Structure 1
Amino acid sequence: MTLSPEDLKSLEKYALQNAVKYGKAPQAKAVMGKVMGEYPQLRADPNAVSVALEAIVSEIANGNPDAWETRLSKIAPELIEALSVKKEPDKGLKPLEGAETGKVVMRFAPNPNGPATLGSSRGMIVNSEYVKIYKGKFILRFDDTDPDIKRPMLEAYPWYLDDFKWLGVVPDQVVYASDHFPIYYDYAKKLIEMGKAYVCFCTGGDFKQFKDAKQACPHRDTSPEENLMHWEKMLAGEYEDQQAVLRIKTDIKHKDPALRDWGAFRIRKMSHPRPEIGTKYIVWPLLDFAGAIEDHELGMTHIIRGKDLMDSEKRQGYIYNYFGWTYPKTTHWGRVKIHEFGKFSTSTLRKSIEAGEYSGWDDPRLPTIRAIRRRGIRAEALKKFMIEMGVGMTDVSISMESLYAENRKIVDPIANRYFFVWDPVELEIAGMGPSVAKLPLHPTDHARGVREIAVENKVLVCKDDVEKLEVGSILRLKDFCNIEITSLSPLQANHSEVSLEALKKAKAKILHWAPVDGIPVKVRGPEGDIEGIGEHGIAAELDKIVQFERFGFCRIDAVSEEEVVAYFAHK
């Protein structure tokens, strides 16, 4: 039996999956069992399969985990996906290949078409942390040269700077790609003169037909002199929108269509939102061209980018080769999927906000840094969470609960405790005169003192708790007094002198409560708004995170005479 190329590919992909899963050379026996189970037709000649598999395993064993993940993601990305839910990513940051202390230069390069998201924070944190480790230089570069599809948002620029400040990171340099059009134009002219770029007048559909057929378009062999003339006309505005494209000349017969004569500049007669740029330019660089030039000009030594952008390095490699430059060391990482938010894009969120579906970019239902900051998530928690995730090719599927767990460790010791009652029901207590309840601000830090709540003969309790009560129920109002329920409608109780021992023996419920003259509180969270009544002391906690007992941690966002607005962080 002779194994077909497809059979050999199947052996290779399952051998690679085994290597990626366990981080070491694949085990032929385990792979053999997997292959025979998946492909019954191979059972006809197990010896031939075994011989072929041994050769494949031997070749793979000469590689390393990064190479295995790269190869597997190319030939069988679905097997990488399958591992993402099973494989626990390595915690922490691995050493950077070829990094020298004091010489590392890295960047975070967002398109500012909206504020930073949780996905963005990974790049912000990991790149800046690596630079800190190697005592290098960290650059924030705004890749803002797309006036159309991902049009920059003017407010997003300072928002990014503010988010970096919140994270405790100040970039060593802030760069605006839109400031560098003259530099891009200069390099484009040099490529044209070298015969490595040409002006193409094909429509998008026509060029695709040529490209797919591995054929040169009619303009590919135009002389550098004529191309320079067309280039100058592009810059002078003599051609219409998208009438001409400057292309980088590559291998038109390359096996990957994405690498065949890719576009570097296009005409878009649009304004840029930055007033410094406005309508100054009409020929716009595409991201792969601008990024290649920026990384060289800024002296980038290392780049971390998504594995979905592997083609960018290959396209940009042509420019680096033409100019004799050395490409930065590049690491690719997998996607991060957050269960609570599913798939999202900044462009989609922007449309939803403009349509009034959200209150703004800091709406608690959104996966933006601005939103989680407003909810009371601490920068230390987010940084620890992202750094421990590490850098790897495997896609990572996570829950916000993991971030909440990190944040809880930080805020639990510092958050004062208060009562907040949602869906309040009035409870009248007979046999009790005016008194003052004294409750600890924190259950373990008694040095903080107490909070005092004046009570006469009525308090508020949650409707959910009332529905579980019965006449004759004995319970305790937390840190206040014991009561016995005498009526459910209206809700009434007698002040009881039952001992603490008797309460424990009866497994009596402990209810949180609020004064009837408390302050209205609105809690805004991912599941919507919840309204109720809270203690007056909450109003003194503006911009601080507190714990509403039996409810969760919240950040006090606004205080007025009418109400307190709090943003829900987590349980």
Structure 2
Amino acid sequence: MDDDLRERVEREAEKHALLNAVKHESDADVGAIMGPLMGENADFREYGNEIPGVIGGVIGQVNDLSYEEKRERLEDLAPEELAELEAEDEEDEHDLPDLPSADEYDEIRMRCAPNPNGPWHVGHARMPAVIGTYRDRYDGWFCVRFDDTDPETKRPDLEAYDAIIEDLDYLGFEPDDVFRASDRLETYYDHARELIELGGAYTCSCSGEEFSELKNSGEPCPHRDKDVETVLEEFEAMVDGEYESGEMVLRVKTDIEHKNPALRDWVAFRMIDTPHPREEASEYRCWPMLDFQSGVDDHLVGITHIIRGIDLQDSAKRQQFVYDYFDWEYPEVVHWGHVQIDAYDVKMSTSRIGELIDGGDLDGWDDPRAPTLQSLRRRGIRGEAIVDAMVGLGTSTTDVDLAMSTVYANNRELIDDETDRRFLVRDGTELPLGGSPPGEANPPLHPNHEDRGVREIPVGDAVLLESADLPGREERIWLKGLGCFQYTRDVLQYTGEDIDVVREGDVDVVHWVPVDESVPVRMRTMDGDVTGRAEPGVANLEPDELVQFERVGFARIDAHDGDETVVYYTHP
């Protein structure tokens, strides 16, 4: 890192440290500012290993200031950011807007309606995060309803039902009730019969192409005026499975000249030959379309508010026809735009992720390269961090972008204080030691918690350093927790100098591990596996424990496989 870049890093670090300290009225923290610092300055990212060492002194200087001094310095350095920060403090306590007409209902009732064709990807977290937050705000109710009435095109995955409930629990929410639409076929049939008797539906044997031509020209289907008895008889034949797939459908009678052709006499039930994977539903062949099934269920369970994508506006309009026939009141609807998430090469699609797993390109739904909640959980990211990021997006009708750095920053605030530090050297270079250094290094388990004690790292005759930290000839470096060394004649000679050489800015601080007693580590990351060696105490950590590898990032201990420790990289 050259001097100009170092000055930029220090300047940006000071701004973010001040923002962090003023926002929380506390000391700034290296971990808390790394996310926004890297997010705003993409060219810093290739120096991620060096930056914590560069900004440590800056943060120390910021933390030496009083709150008023921090605020005054921030006003000089970044007045616009300070104004935005103070404006945020004056805004409503909630990130989400009030639900429309919320005060008109005795109880707010909402639903999360996943298609169980696989575990949730990251984008799926937005719906339960927002619905769960509204439930808690209004002391309301929400259910999970598995919309699994398409056993062919979006075929349910039997393992996904439980996996989605586990994902919901990971996010911190427990539904008040759980339904499977495939358990409720008889209920949908009963409502179809009633709709037919009301003159609101008819059976149609037109091919898809034939009906499309009629619909687009605003002409009625020739079956539209069948008498009720005939329609009921043919619908019962559908229920009994007497028609082949595509041979007969039941249509809701709407307005054949409606300005939107998509709303003209839409299909409510169709025949599907492929058996449902759930044994309880495998005998059924007459299946409701989502707009009919969902509309009926929303009324029957008393849903007051629906949140759905802006691309599904036609669903509400289709369902309104059914509601009008039954004289039901339609729920309040909030439409929002799509959320786009950065940082992943894999498409945010359950079916696409499943294909990559089946093809061996991903190890499973919790592969660190997979954009899934199972993956984030295995990496050690708290569900609360994801919920806070999703809620922060609001409910705008425009598409929104979510930077994973926001999730990482949220998670860092949750785990940094409780996570002990360790050393990990990736693809290290061995250097012998000379000059009689101490036989054991004792860096703290956590720099802010002396009461936790220190690590006991045997030094031995040689250490491993990362390639970026290798010193030049006659250059001095400070091996963290051990002392000052000078690189002379291919040996790191212990100088015995005190920490003042670091404070004066002449010596870089680097992490290291002993050659003899370090443990092999395989770190699974979004970019593939990384090998290295860690200080010996890592071998004694329990699976699921989090560590912060100094100057590398946070990681979750996954398993001890023989002599090798497997960890999942969390984030910087």
Tell me, yes or no, whether TM beats 0.5.
yes
Identity of aligned residues (%): 45
State the 1:503 CA deviation.
4.8
Tell me the residue number matched to 2:260: 256
Matches within 5 A, 1:368-517: 368-432=372-436, 435-466=439-470, 469-487=471-489, 491-505=490-504, 507-516=506-515, 517=517
Aligned to 1:322: 325
How many Å separate the matches in 2 of 1:112 and 1:503? 56
Q: Which aligned pairs between 1:44-443 and structure 2 lie closer than 5 A?
A: 92-100=95-103, 102-277=106-281, 279-341=282-344, 343-432=347-436, 435-443=439-447
CA distance change for structure 1 residues 117 and 293 in 2, over 3 Å: closer, same or farther?
A: same
Residues 338 and 399 in structure 1, CA contact (< 8 A), matched pair in contact too: yes
1:555·1:569 contact (CA, 8 Å) conserved in 2? Answer: yes
Q: State the AA in 2 paired with 1:551.
A: V
Q: How far off its partner does 1:379 sit?
A: 1.9
* Alignment check: 8 A CA contact 1:102 1:135 kept: no
- The answer on whether the counterparts of 2:123 and 2:348 sit within 8 Å (CA) in structure 1 is no
Q: Distance in 2 between matches of 1:380 and 1:123?
A: 14
Matched residue, 1:546 = 547
* C-alpha deviation, 1:548, in angstroms: 0.6
Q: For the Cα contact (< 8 Å) 2:121–2:349, is it kept in 1?
A: no
Distance 1:507 1:143 in 2: 64
Residue in structure 1 matched with residue 525 of structure 2 by the alignment = 525
Separation in structure 1 between the aligned mates of residue 468 and residue 207 of structure 2, nearest angstrom: 65
Amino acid at match of 2:111: R
Give the Å deviation of 1:502: 3.9
Which range is displaced more, 229-238 or 255-264? 229-238
Moved more, 228-237 or 249-258: 228-237
CA contact (8 A) 2:483 2:498 kept: no
Residue 23 of structure 1: aligned partner: none
The aligned amino acid for 1:534 is A
Aligned equivalents of 1:381 and 1:192: distance in 2? 49
Q: After superposition, what is the alpha-carbon deviation per residue over 1:65-90, rounded to whole angstroms, capped at 9, x for unaligned?
A: xxxxxxxxxxxxxxxxxxxxxxx999
Rounded Cα–Cα distance in structure 1 between residues aligned with 2:510 and 2:437:
20
Tell me how far 1:446 sits from its aligned partner. 0.8
TM-superposed CA distance for 1:104, in Å, is: 1.2
- Tell me how far apart the structure 2 counterparts of residues 409 and 122 of structure 1 sit (CA, whole Å): 20
Deviation at 1:357, TM superposition (A): 1.2
Contact kept, 8 Å, 1:434 with 1:456, in 2: the verdict is: no
For normalisation by structure 2, the TM-score amounts to 0.81
- 1:124 shift after superposition: 0.5
Q: Distance in 2 between matches of 1:499 and 1:115?
A: 54
Partner Cα distance (1:498, 1:340) in 2: 43
Q: Counterparts of 1:506 and 1:246 in 2: how far apart (Å)?
A: 78
| Aligned positions of 1:23-34 closer than 5 A | none
Matches within 5 A, 1:4-23: none
Cα separation, 2, equivalents of 1:428 and 1:316 = 75
Moved more, 174-183 or 191-200: 191-200
Residue 530 of structure 1 deviates from its aligned partner by: 0.7
- The one-letter code sitting in structure 2 at the alignment partner of 1:441 is L
Alpha-carbon separation, structure 1, partners of 2:547 and 2:278: 40
1:565 corresponds to which residue? 566
CA distance in 2, matches of 1:300, 1:172: 13
Deviation at 1:275, TM superposition (A): 2.4
Q: Deviations over 1:451-487 (max 9, x none)?
A: 1011221111112322xx3211111111102211124
> Post-superposition shift, 1:360?
0.7
Distance in 2 (alpha carbons) for counterparts of 1:500 and 1:415: 25
Please state whether the residue corresponding to 1:507 is helix, strand or coil: coil
Change (3 A) 1:102 1:322: closer
Per the alignment, residue 27 of structure 1 pairs with none
Partners of 1:432 and 1:457 within 8 A in 2? no
Structure-2 separation of matches of 1:346 and 1:508: 50
Of 261-270 and 95-104, more deviation after overlay is shown by 95-104
Q: What is the total number of aligned residue pairs between the two structures?
A: 478
Partner of 1:534: 534
In 2: Cα distance, 1:106 partner to 1:306 partner: 15
Q: Which amino acid aligns with 2:508?
A: K
1:291 and 1:231, CA in 2 relative to 1: closer, same or farther beyond 3 A?
A: same
Q: Give me the CA root mean square deviation.
A: 1.8
Deviations 1:82-120 (A, max 9, x none): xxxxxx999711111222475111111110111122222
Counterpart CA distance in 2 for 1:503 and 1:521 is 30
Is the 1:248–1:263 Cα contact (8 Å) retained in structure 2? yes
Q: Distance in 2 between matches of 1:243 and 1:562?
A: 63
CA–CA distance in 2 between the matches of 1:494 and 1:532? 24
Q: CA deviation at 1:541?
A: 4.0
Conservation of the 8 A alpha-carbon contact between 2:438 and 2:482 = no
Aligned-residue offset at 1:204: 1.3
Paired with 1:215 and 1:536, the residues of 2 have a C-alpha distance of 78
Q: Secondary structure of the residue that 2:114 maps to in structure 1?
A: coil
- 5+ long unaligned stretches in structure 2: 1-87
Q: TM-score, normalised by structure 1?
A: 0.81
Contact 1:433–1:456 (8 Å) recurs in 2: no
C-alpha contact (below 8 Å) 2:437/2:494 kept by paired residues: no
Q: Report SS of the residue matched to 1:374.
A: helix
Give the whole-Å Cα distance in 2 for the aligned partners of 1:239 and 1:272. 17
- Which stretch shows the higher mean deviation, 341-350 or 154-163? 341-350
Measure the CA separation in 2 of the matches of 1:398 and 1:164.
20
- 8 Å CA contact retained: 1:434, 1:454: no
Distance 1:121 1:436, change over 3 A: same
TM-superposed deviation, 1:394 = 2.0
Distance 1:228 1:502, change over 3 A: closer
For the 8 Å contact 1:102–1:134, the answer to whether it is kept is: no
